[in-house]
A and B are shown apart, each in its own frame.
Chain A
Amino acid sequence: MSVASAATASSESGRTAPRVSPGLAVGLTCVLMLTVIYFFGDQDQALITQAVVSGLLLGGVYALISVGLTLIFGVLGIVNFAQGAMLTMAMYIVYALSTTGLPVYAATIVAVPLMFVFGMIVQSTLLTKLTISGSHEGPLLVTLGLSLLIVNVLLMIFGGRPLSVEVPVEGTVSIFGSVASWPRVLAFIGAAIVAVALKLVLERTPLGLSIRAVASNSEGAKLVGVDVGRVYAFTFGIGAACVAVAGGLMTPFTSLTPSVGEQFTILAFVIVVLGGLGSVIGAVVGGLVIGLVQTVGAIYLPGTGSLILVFAVFILVLFLRPEGLYGVRR
């Protein structure tokens, strides 16, 4: 369910004819494609299973990055180009904390509130005025500037040399006969917990109610006494906190450079458009699909070739269903 449509869901479900749920449709398509690949592709089946497992694990992390992005778009209407840079920033915060002897996962717990506050400050100092004026390009350009700023400040402080942290949990786990490293499994579990928690916050708490109210009609929300500026700041803060969790969980299996997050900005946009800008579930489904496309595609198109498939999916979705799987047409 979309953030924006959640508040008006009851009125919408009344008039839309019953149809196949997008999640089911996507799931069936994926199963069908995988079946074809398993039985008619001339590849080793174990190899494909391995790709599917790593794709889903990767997709979980993608989903977590995209959830923040989609929330920011759904509520604020901002195309946040700094999402990847904020991810990098979170990873460096975790790195910096871990050099003081803190274990990575404990450092992540410290990084989350820091990033939350950072997000709130960014929104309230740089973006709120532009958001309220309803400009499309203004916030896009400001977040673009912010992304360049973050990346280069990190470059100045830490240099361009790749860094890595000490991994507290070693070893691998076997899933359906394929191997996955523990940090990746933990990242997936963490992503799932955050997605569920976020959904509960949006649907069960007063803050979630005001976020949904502002998303569906900011003028109306203001009239009934919602502090719109505060909700904007909180939303951006939550978006930043999501990438902080993602960053922390990814640090153990990622080599840190100041530009490491850039590729994720692009992927997160693909995922968010695929799922429907503003839809939390869409971001999760989109993340898993794109993770699968990337790893299974890599069997046939090595190197960066599988990303071509990702962009092909993106463009196809933009044209066939610009509102995405779960989105509402704006």
Chain B
Amino acid sequence: MISTVEAPAPVVQEDRLRDTWLRRQLVALVVGFAAVAVLPLFLGDQAQTVVVRTLIFAIMAVGWNIMSGIGGMFSFGHAAFFGIGAYTCAYLLADHGISPWISMVVGAVIAAVVGTLIAYACLRYRLAGAYFALATFAFAQLFLLLVQNLEVFNKTEGFNVPILSHDSWAMLQFKLGSPIYIWIPLTILALAVLGTIFYVRSRAGQFVRAVRDDETAAASLGINALKYRLIAVAASCALTAVAGVYYTQYYFYVGPEQAFGAAVSVEAIVPAVIGGIGTIWGPVIGAAVIGPLSELINDLLRSPPPFLEFLQGASGLDVIVYSVILIAIVIFLPKGIFGSIRERFRR
């Protein structure tokens, strides 16, 4: 379990102090929101896709963090829930013409139910640590294989979203490069972070952290460990599914690998680890570091400075840098970028 992560909210029960903490979080949220919201006014089309991809990463990472960081149940298969969202949207839209807004709700509910069932089964059979991670991983792989082999999901071909010729809020489609494409995931992310802030302060959040840190002690205080864990799982899976819905809607295409592939699970985990597991801002900061990184490296490779000439056209370097950062952070900054900075300031 992730016992090294400190509780973000102060344990001091004095109202004045608690409010200061809350006010600081909300100010940070508003400032961050405003800063990203004006970005599309300065950015070109190419940079916009980077921002959108980063925001999708961030939503997934915030979702993953609720279950794995705050809840202490390390999921290695969040692709399952991302995929459920992505495929719900694709199936309902391409085959039935149903608006992605409805898919967001439907996908979130399905993912929450499936996630809760999986977690219930795992917890009931006392799978913990590595076994829990492997079980979630197996479920994600199973879903991938099912989708690849089922005719209703177009097997390995996936779905193309029908493209409209006009702007439509109902169908969540706008002209290429419209800032709305950034504002929607940004709003989802802001709501997710807001939800996390209030969640860690709430009884449910406090209880699940108590269970994470010491299950026996928490249970002896009368906390229903299973119940509060499943709440965390449901919230986490629902949010991840929303990210999946938006993915399909933005890229107009989804296939089995993009939705359920192991790489998707990794993309949910890595920003949270790099930013700081179990913290409110860690996943967001991690995504902000990782998201633009591969684009920067790819830019560098397209027109390298003279001393890096030999790297021109080499593929794979972006992931190499990304994986070296991942390894270095886990070894040298086990609490992630945000977690380590916060610790420095507390001393």
Binding site for B on A (CB under 8 A): 73, 77, 79, 126, 129-130, 135-138, 140-142, 144-149, 151-153, 155-156, 159-160, 258, 262, 266, 269-270, 273, 277, 301, 303-305, 307-308, 311-312, 314-315, 318-319, 322
Tell me whether B320 and A149 are in contact (CB under 8 A). yes
Residues of B within 8 A of A126 (CB): 327, 331
Tell me whether B315 and A155 are in contact (CB under 8 A). yes
Tell me whether B323 and A130 are in contact (CB under 8 A). no
Give residues 1-22 of B contacting A (CB, 8 Å).
1-2, 4
Tell me whether B134 and A304 are in contact (CB under 8 A). no
Asked if B314 CB lies within 8 Å of chain A CBs, one says: yes
Tell me whether B315 and A142 are in contact (CB under 8 A). no
Residues of A within 8 A of B323 (CB): 145-149, 152
Distance (whole angstroms) from the CB of B259 to the closest CB of chain A: 15
Give the one of A77, A144, A273 with max B CB within 10 A: A144
Can you identify 10 A-B contacts, CB atoms within 8 angstroms?
A73-B130, A135-B334, A141-B269, A145-B326, A149-B327, A151-B316, A152-B317, A303-B148, A308-B142, A322-B125
Residues of B within 8 A of A159 (CB): 315
Residues of A within 8 A of B269 (CB): 141, 144
Asked if B319 CB lies within 8 Å of chain A CBs, one says: yes
Tell me whether B138 and A140 are in contact (CB under 8 A). no
Q: Could you tell me the distance between the alpha carbons of A126 and B327 in the complex, rounded to whole angstroms?
A: 8
Give residues 249-301 of B contacting A (CB, 8 Å).
262, 266, 269, 273, 277
Give residues 290-347 of B contacting A (CB, 8 Å).
314-317, 319-320, 322-324, 326-327, 330-331, 334
Contact among B141, B146, B149, B277 for A266, CB-based, below 8 A = B141
Tell me whether B315 and A304 are in contact (CB under 8 A). no
Contact among A73, A148, A318 for B135, CB-based, below 8 A = A318
Contact among A129, A145, A262, A304 for B149, CB-based, below 8 A = A304
Give 11 new A-B contacts, CB below 8 A, not counting A138-B334, A318-B131.
A137-B2, A140-B133, A142-B331, A144-B326, A151-B319, A155-B315, A155-B316, A308-B145, A314-B138, A318-B138, A322-B127
Tell me whether B273 and A141 are in contact (CB under 8 A). yes
Distance (whole angstroms) from the CB of A126 to the closest CB of chain B: 7
Tell me whether B330 and A145 are in contact (CB under 8 A). yes
Tell me whether B125 and A153 are in contact (CB under 8 A). no
Distance (whole angstroms) from the CB of A284 to the closest CB of chain B: 20
Give the one of B76, B126, B146, B323 with max A CB within 10 A: B323
Tell me whether A145 and B327 are in contact (CB under 8 A). yes
Residues of B within 8 A of A138 (CB): 330-331, 334
Asked if B33 CB lies within 8 Å of chain A CBs, one says: no
Residues of B within 8 A of A130 (CB): 330-331
Q: Could you tell me the distance between the alpha carbons of A269 and B133 in the complex, rounded to whole angstroms?
A: 11
Tell me whether A156 and B130 are in contact (CB under 8 A). no
Tell me whether B139 and A315 are in contact (CB under 8 A). yes
> Chain B: which residue is nearest A258 at the CB level?
B316
Secondary structure call for the B interface: helix
Give residues 51-101 of B contacting A (CB, 8 Å).
74, 76
Query: Would you give the 0/1 interface string for B132-156, flagging 1 where the beta carbon is closer than 8 Å to chain A?
Result: 0111011101100110110000000
Residues of A within 8 A of B129 (CB): 136
Asked if B38 CB lies within 8 Å of chain A CBs, one says: no
- List of 5 A-B pairs having minimum Cβ-Cβ separation, nearest first: A152-B316, A155-B316, A148-B323, A145-B326, A145-B327
Q: Could you tell me the distance between the alpha carbons of A129 and B334 in the complex, rounded to whole angstroms?
A: 12
Query: Would you give the 0/1 interface string for B106-138, flagging 1 where the beta carbon is closer than 8 Å to chain A?
Result: 000000000000000100011101110111011
Residues of B within 8 A of A277 (CB): 130
Q: Could you tell me the distance between the alpha carbons of A137 and B270 in the complex, rounded to whole angstroms?
A: 12
Residues of A within 8 A of B327 (CB): 126, 141-142, 145-146, 149
Q: Could you tell me the distance between the alpha carbons of A305 and B151 in the complex, rounded to whole angstroms?
A: 12
Tell me whether A319 and B149 are in contact (CB under 8 A). no
Give residues 209-239 of B contacting A (CB, 8 Å).
none
Q: Could you tell me the distance between the alpha carbons of A91 and B262 in the complex, rounded to whole angstroms?
A: 22
Tell me whether B133 and A79 are in contact (CB under 8 A). yes
Q: Could you tell me the distance between the alpha carbons of A312 and B142 in the complex, rounded to whole angstroms?
A: 8
Q: Could you tell me the distance between the alpha carbons of A318 and B126 in the complex, rounded to whole angstroms?
A: 10
Tell me whether A322 and B131 are in contact (CB under 8 A). yes
Give the one of B129, B130, B131, B273 with max A CB within 10 A: B130
Distance (whole angstroms) from the CB of A142 to the closest CB of chain B: 5
Residues of A within 8 A of B324 (CB): 145, 149
> Chain A: which residue is nearest B326 at the CB level?
A145
Contact among B134, B277, B322 for A269, CB-based, below 8 A = B134
Q: Check A141/B330 contact, CB under 8 A, given A160-B315, A318-B125.
A: yes
Residues of A within 8 A of B141 (CB): 266, 311
Distance (whole angstroms) from the CB of B180 to the closest CB of chain A: 34
Tell me whether B149 and A308 are in contact (CB under 8 A). yes
Q: Could you tell me the distance between the alpha carbons of A280 and B106 in the complex, rounded to whole angstroms?
A: 45
Tell me whether B142 and A273 are in contact (CB under 8 A). no
Contact among B4, B74, B145, B266 for A311, CB-based, below 8 A = B145
Tell me whether B145 and A307 are in contact (CB under 8 A). yes
Q: Could you tell me the distance between the alpha carbons of A160 and B314 in the complex, rounded to whole angstroms?
A: 11
Contact among B131, B273, B319 for A148, CB-based, below 8 A = B319
Residues of A within 8 A of B127 (CB): 318, 322
Distance (whole angstroms) from the CB of A69 to the closest CB of chain B: 12
Q: Check A156/B316 contact, CB under 8 A, given A304-B145, A322-B125.
A: yes
Tell me whether A129 and B331 are in contact (CB under 8 A). yes
Residues of A within 8 A of B330 (CB): 130, 138, 141-142, 145
Residues of B within 8 A of A144 (CB): 266, 269, 326
Q: Could you tell me the distance between the alpha carbons of A311 and B319 in the complex, rounded to whole angstroms?
A: 28
Tell me whether A79 and B130 are in contact (CB under 8 A). yes
> Chain B: which residue is nearest A149 at the CB level?
B323
Tell me whether A156 and B317 are in contact (CB under 8 A). yes
Q: Could you tell me the distance between the alpha carbons of A248 and B326 in the complex, rounded to whole angstroms?
A: 30
Residues of A within 8 A of B149 (CB): 301, 303-305, 308
Residues of A within 8 A of B145 (CB): 304-305, 307-308, 311
Tell me whether B125 and A315 are in contact (CB under 8 A). no
Residues of B within 8 A of A73 (CB): 130
Q: Could you tell me the distance between the alpha carbons of A160 and B313 in the complex, rounded to whole angstroms?
A: 13
Q: Could you tell me the distance between the alpha carbons of A147 and B76 in the complex, rounded to whole angstroms?
A: 15
